[in-house]
Amino acid sequence: MTPMKKWLPLALAAAALLGAGVWLGRSSTAPSAAPAPSGGEPIAGRGRPSAQAPRLAARTAGGAPAAARRSAAAVDPGLQADLSDADPKVRRAAVRELAADRDADPALLLAASRDPDLEVGVTATEALGKLHAQGEVPVQELIARATDRKLDERVRVSALNGLGLVPSPESAALLTELAVRGDAGERRTAAILLVHQELAAAVPALLGLLGDADEYVRSNALESLRARSRGRDFGTDAAAWRAWWAARSR
């Protein structure tokens, strides 16, 4: 299977992300994905990066840590048992219920993200991405899942989506590494998700990807540069993009 085809079925939860106002790119076939301009992988999308770095501890309106709020709430022992049930259908129903709970315990989702059933793993990992955006799941947990080759690719993609949508030094470092040393699918992913990271880390990596051998990597990198350059568009002229960045950096 070629690298491009290998990433075709990985677009999960694209419709939900589109509804949230982010551009989901490079997918041609997937149960829940909407088609994007070009490419073959289902990676999270476009939009202005958050101006706020992820918090170490989410707070409620009253100022109490979210973790403390959860610990005070009774955990349904039946739900916990069902997350470990031998029947994957039971575990799928349980993890869907858990993911929909605004006070869901991240520890339960972290365990479920490594479930041998793909649907359980993806559902849990997507929920972890949302909690990460709220500052309730450390960046290292998503990095561990995004880089664990023992996990299904769709679980890793879900982790990378949740990771890349939140600007942080750790996520920028991983995406930059993928942009340089990843396979074609990983480079396409990095080219899209770097749009959410700080300019100083994102733009040099994106400029390097303009000369990539893979056309979808180049296309994704160009779209990210357009999104971050306040209306500038030098098309495929890599030299013009580099001149803009050199002037911008001074």
User: What is the domain extent for residue 137?
Assistant: 60-152+160-166
Give 59's strand partners. Answer: 65
Can you tell me the distance from the alpha carbon of 59 to that of 52, in angstroms, rounded to the nearest whole number? 14
93 located within any domain = yes
Can you tell me the distance from the alpha carbon of 160 to that of 157, in angstroms, rounded to the nearest whole number? 5
6 located within any domain = no
82 located within any domain = yes
34 located within any domain = no
For the chain, report the end-to-end CA distance as a whole number of angstroms.
45
Highest-pLDDT range among 40-49, 67-76, 163-172: 163-172
> Which pTM does this prediction carry?
0.70
pLDDT digits (tens, 9 = 90+) for 214-231: 999 999 999 999 999 999
C-beta separation of 22 from 44 below 8 A: yes
pLDDT digits (tens, 9 = 90+) for 164-194: 999 999 999 999 999 999 989 899 999 999 9
Tokens 């520890």, residue located? 107
Give 25's strand partners. Answer: 43
Q: Is 62 exposed, middle or buried (0-12, 13-18, 19+ CB in 10 A)?
A: exposed
73 located within any domain = yes
Residue 64: pLDDT band with limits 50, 70, 90: very low
127 located within any domain = yes
107 located within any domain = yes
Tokens in use for 37?
């301009």
Residue 58 confidence (pLDDT) = 38
Can you tell me the distance from the alpha carbon of 43 to that of 250, in angstroms, rounded to the nearest whole number? 32
Residue 76 confidence (pLDDT) = 86
214 located within any domain = no
Can you tell me the distance from the alpha carbon of 54 to that of 155, in angstroms, rounded to the nearest whole number? 22
Q: What is the mean pLDDT of residues 66-75?
A: 51
Can you tell me the distance from the alpha carbon of 214 to that of 81, in angstroms, rounded to the nearest whole number? 46
Share of the chain above pLDDT 90, in %: 66
Neighbouring C-alpha atoms within 13 Å toward the C-beta of 235? 1
Of the candidate ranges 59-63, 128-132, 186-190, the one whose mean pLDDT is the lowest: 59-63
Tokens in use for 233?
């568009």
- Quick check: helix, strand or coil at residue 25? strand
Does the structure show a pLDDT above 60 at 244? yes
Contacts of 61 (CB under 8 A, 6+ apart): none
Q: What is the CA radius of gyration of the chain?
A: 19
Does the structure show a pLDDT above 50 at 59? no
Residue 209 confidence (pLDDT) = 97
Can you tell me the distance from the alpha carbon of 83 to that of 127, in angstroms, rounded to the nearest whole number? 15
Q: What is the mean pLDDT of residues 129-139?
A: 96
Can you tell me the distance from the alpha carbon of 41 to that of 21, in angstroms, rounded to the nearest whole number? 19
Domains in the chain, number: 1
Q: What is the mean pLDDT of residues 131-151?
A: 96
